[in-house]
C-alpha cells in the first residue's frame, strides 16, 4: 500500500453562496474554486457540508405542515422537543436507541446511530425561525457520486467527494466531522495483513479513511457562522479502490453495544 501523504493541505473555498433547492453544487464549487484562485487537480477531494447538499436537494421541511402522531407527542413531552420535530426525526429513523430530557438518539434509516436522525435547525434558512428543519440527504453516497462525476466531467480532473456531517460520540464529549457520503476514494482502508514497524502482522487495523478526512475538513469549515461549507483537500496519495461511506457503518452482527 502507498504510504500516507507527508503533507496534506486543506483550503476553505471562498464566496460559497447561500444555497436553495435546485442549486447546482458542482457549479457552486467550481465558481468558488475560481474565486479562491484554484483549479481542481487529479487526486483532489472536495468535502461538502451535509446541509449544503440537503438544501440543494430540496430536503427542507416546514414543520408547520406536519401533524405529529401520538408516539411523537409522547416522546416530545419526555425529551422536551417540539413533537412536530420528533415526528420528522421518527420518519427518518429505524428505531429509538436512547432518550432522555433534551436527548433523542436514534438509528437513522441509513444505519447511522446519531442524535435526532441528523435533523437540524441551525443554518437552514435565512433568519431565526424554528419552523423549519433539514434532514440528511436521501442517499448521501449517491449524492457524492453524482457530484464526483459532474466535477470530473467539468473540470477534467479525477477527484473524490465527501459529504460531511457532525456527530456526537458515546463516551466522548464534543462533535466531530464524519463522512456520510463518499465517492472517488476509499471510505475504509483495511491494513490487516500489513506489518508494523517491528514486523508484527496487523490483525485488526481498519482505518476510517473518509471519517479522518471529514474531521480534518471540519477544522476548516467550522461549526457556527463561518460560512465555509466546501473544503478542498490536496496531497492525498493513491490508495485502494473507492468505496462508499455506507461501508463505515458497523454491521449489526459486529456491534457489541447494540
pTM for the whole thing? 0.92
Give residue 4's pLDDT: 63
Please tell me the least confidently modeled range out of 65-69, 103-107, 126-130, 178-182. 126-130
Q: Tell me: the pLDDT tens digits for 36-68? A: 999 999 999 999 999 999 999 999 999 999 999
Partners of 61 in beta bridges: 133
* pLDDT grade for 19, boundaries at 50, 70 and 90: very high
Q: Write down all domains in the chain, each with its CATH number in brackets.
A: 9-57+136-248 (3.30.1330.100), 61-133 (3.90.1660.10)
Mean pLDDT of 101-117: 95
Cβ neighbour number for residue 25 with a 10 Å cutoff:
24
* pLDDT grade for 9, boundaries at 50, 70 and 90: very high
Q: Tell me: the pLDDT tens digits for 114-146? A: 999 999 998 888 767 789 999 999 999 999 999
Mean pLDDT of 96-113: 95
Q: Quick check: 169 and 257 in contact, CB under 8 A? A: no
Amino acid at each position: 500500500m502507498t504510504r500516507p501523504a507527508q503533507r496534506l493541505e486543506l483550503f476553505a473555498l471562498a464566496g460559497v453562496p447561500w444555497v436553495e433547492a435546485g442549486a447546482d453544487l458542482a457549479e457552486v464549487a467550481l465558481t468558488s474554486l475560481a474565486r479562491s484562485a484554484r483549479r481542481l487537480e487529479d487526486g483532489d477531494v472536495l468535502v461538502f457540508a451535509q446541509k449544503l447538499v440537503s438544501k440543494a436537494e430540496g430536503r427542507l421541511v416546514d414543520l408547520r405542515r406536519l401533524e405529529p402522531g401520538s408516539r411523537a407527542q409522547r416522546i416530545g413531552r419526555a425529551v422536551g422537543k417540539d413533537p412536530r420535530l420528533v415526528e420528522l426525526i421518527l420518519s427518518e429513523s429505524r428505531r429509538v436507541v436512547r432518550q432522555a430530557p433534551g436527548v433523542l438518539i436514534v438509528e437513522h434509516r441509513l444505519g447511522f446511530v446519531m442524535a435526532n436522525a441528523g435533523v437540524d435547525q441551525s443554518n437552514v434558512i435565512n433568519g431565526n425561525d424554528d419552523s423549519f428543519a433539514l434532514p440528511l440527504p436521501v442517499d448521501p453516497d449517491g449524492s457524492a457520486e453524482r457530484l464526483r462525476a459532474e466535477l470530473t466531467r467539468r473540470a477534467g480532473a479525477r477527484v473524490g467527494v465527501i459529504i460531511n456531517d457532525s456527530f456526537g460520540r458515546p463516551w466522548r464529549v464534543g462533535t466531530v466531522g464524519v463522512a456520510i457520503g463518499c465517492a472517488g476514494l476509499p471510505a475504509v482502508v483495511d491494513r490487516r495483513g500489513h506489518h508494523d514497524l517491528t514486523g508484527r502482522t496487523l490483525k485488526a487495523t481498519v482505518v476510517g479513511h473518509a471519517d479522518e478526512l471529514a474531521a480534518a475538513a471540519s477544522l476548516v469549515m467550522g461549526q457556527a457562522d463561518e460560512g465555509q461549507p466546501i473544503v478542498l483537500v490536496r496531497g492525498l496519495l493513491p490508495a485502494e479502490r473507492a468505496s462508499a461511506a455506507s461501508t463505515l457503518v458497523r454491521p449489526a452482527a459486529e456491534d457489541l453495544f447494540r
